[in-house]
């Protein structure tokens, strides 16, 4: 029962990540100017009298379609919150049967859900401030990683020989996390099409000073910290660093795949397929000018890569058990 509930929660989280990307990429993040409702209602206003009242109360033009997308995202997020809470309670009750599952791994997703709700509110009140929206994306990815880590912990551990994969696995996780942050920064600043003429955007960056303004966390959307408008070179700088990160991630995860393949092709080949898919999606987004389905799929590809590596890392043998196994093996050899 717990495994089924955990699987449902993981799939729900992945779906919510994709839905969040869809809302963000369709520019519906401010479809509702208030929180947690939409123009003071439980659903987005769509009737003529509701739209008229909303425009009089809140000012500006009401976009019913965008509001509906945003409210769907909020309701799905609320459902995930309920699922995570039920899962945590179930795991606490059954924890004596889940000896490899630490208590912090059960509690942390609940705390993260609360923080995600706050980030959702700040996303609206701070008008899509890039650092808040990026943090919201990272929070969703972190929640997925924690849930997948639970699944890995209650699954059958990998043999002791896989202990040597640990360093390659953790390095891949570190760089992939950094790349996800950069990808979020690209998306929240709408920099996906900032350059397409060269691999690292040299033409757009040539002769420009102060490009690191684009990475300051204390600025509003479309502005520098001083309130000036961001230039194309600022956006190209963000895109350029994301592309450089993609090269590093390709090398590091490629090395992890090689190390894994020496021990198990069943683990290495699916990870290789996911990596190639994500690289292909990234290139296709540039070649075809960021079509919505491919852009959403690119977010999903990052989540899939993260989940696969976390699952492998969570199944690695615990260090102390590995050390004991080596001591036992040494004692056996010396006895013989």
The H-assigned helical ranges of the chain are 2-25, 48-58, 64-93, 103-125, 130-154, 166-188, 202-205, 232-261, 265-287, 292-315, 319-335
| Sign of the four-CA dihedral 42, 45, 48, 54 | positive
Q: What is the pLDDT along the chain (336 residues), one digit of tens a residue?
A: 788 999 999 999 999 999 999 999 999 999 999 999 999 999 999 999 999 999 999 988 899 999 999 999 999 999 999 999 999 999 888 766 666 788 899 999 999 999 999 999 999 999 999 999 999 999 999 999 999 999 999 888 999 889 889 999 999 999 999 999 999 999 999 998 888 666 777 666 655 556 788 899 999 999 988 888 988 888 988 998 999 999 999 999 999 999 999 988 899 999 999 999 999 999 999 889 999 999 999 999 999 999 999 999 999 987 554 443 444 334 333 433
Co-location of 129 and 177 in the same domain? no
Provide the pLDDT for residue 94.
79
Q: Are 113 and 81 in contact (CB under 8 A)?
A: yes
Residues 151 and 283 in one domain: no
Which domain, by its residues, includes 205?
A: 159-336
What's the confidence (pLDDT) of residue 327?
41
Residues 151 and 164 grouped into a single domain? no
Rounded distance between C-alpha atoms, residue 267 and residue 218, angstroms: 41
Catalytically annotated residue among 70, 164, 204, 213: 70
Question: Is residue 237 within 8 Å of 206, Cβ to Cβ?
Answer: no
Q: Which residue, 118, 136, 155, sits at the end of a domain?
A: 155
Whether residues 137 and 163 fall in one domain: no
Q: Which residue has the tokens 């976009």?
A: 63
114 and 163 assigned to the same domain: no
Q: How many domains does the chain have?
A: 2
CA distance 175 to 242: 12
Q: Which of 155, 186, 215 is at the close of a domain?
A: 155
Whether residue 213 lies in the annotated active site: no
Q: Are 70 and 103 in contact (CB under 8 A)?
A: no
Same domain, 181 and 209: yes
pLDDT attached to residue 308: 97
Question: Which of residues 132, 155, 178 is at a domain's end?
Answer: 155
């Amino acid at each position: 029962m717990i495994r089924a509930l955990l699987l449902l929660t993981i799939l729900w989280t992945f779906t919510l990540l994709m839905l969040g990307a869809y809302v963000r990429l369709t520019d519906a993040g401010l479809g509702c100017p208030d929180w947690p409702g939409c123009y003071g209602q439980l659903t987005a206003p769509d009737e003529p009298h509701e739209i008229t009242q909303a425009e009089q109360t809140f000012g500006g033009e009401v976009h019913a379609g965008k509001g509906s997308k945003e409210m769907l995202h909020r309701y799905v997020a609320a459902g995930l919150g309920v699922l995570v809470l039920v899962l945590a309670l179930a795991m606490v009750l059954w924890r004596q049967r889940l000896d490899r599952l630490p208590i912090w791994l059960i509690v942390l997703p609940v705390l993260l859900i609360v923080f995600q709700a706050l980030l959702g509110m700040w996303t609206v009140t701070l008008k899509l401030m890039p650092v808040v929206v990026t943090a919201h994306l990272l929070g969703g990815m972190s929640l997925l990683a924690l849930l997948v880590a639970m699944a890995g912990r209650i699954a059958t551990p990998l043999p002791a020989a896989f202990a040597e994969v640990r360093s390659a696995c953790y390095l891949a996780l570190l760089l992939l996390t950094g790349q996800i942050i950069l990808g979020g920064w690209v998306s929240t600043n709408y920099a996906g099409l900032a350059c397409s003429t060269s691999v690292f955007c040299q033409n757009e960056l040539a002769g420009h000073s102060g490009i690191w303004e684009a990475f300051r966390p204390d600025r509003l959307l479309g502005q520098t910290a001083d309130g000036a408008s961001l230039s194309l070179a600022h956006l190209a700088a963000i895109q350029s660093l994301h592309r450089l990160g993609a090269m590093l991630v390709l090398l590091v995860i490629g090395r992890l795949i090689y190390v894994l393949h020496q021990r198990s092709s069943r683990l290495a080949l699916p990870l290789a397929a996911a990596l190639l898919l994500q690289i292909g999606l990234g290139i296709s987004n540039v070649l075809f000018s960021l079509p919505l389905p491919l852009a959403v799929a690119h977010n999903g590809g990052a989540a899939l890569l993260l989940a696969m590596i976390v699952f492998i890392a969570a199944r690695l043998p615990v260090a102390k058990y590995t050390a004991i196994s080596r001591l036992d093996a040494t004692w056996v050899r010396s006895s013989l």
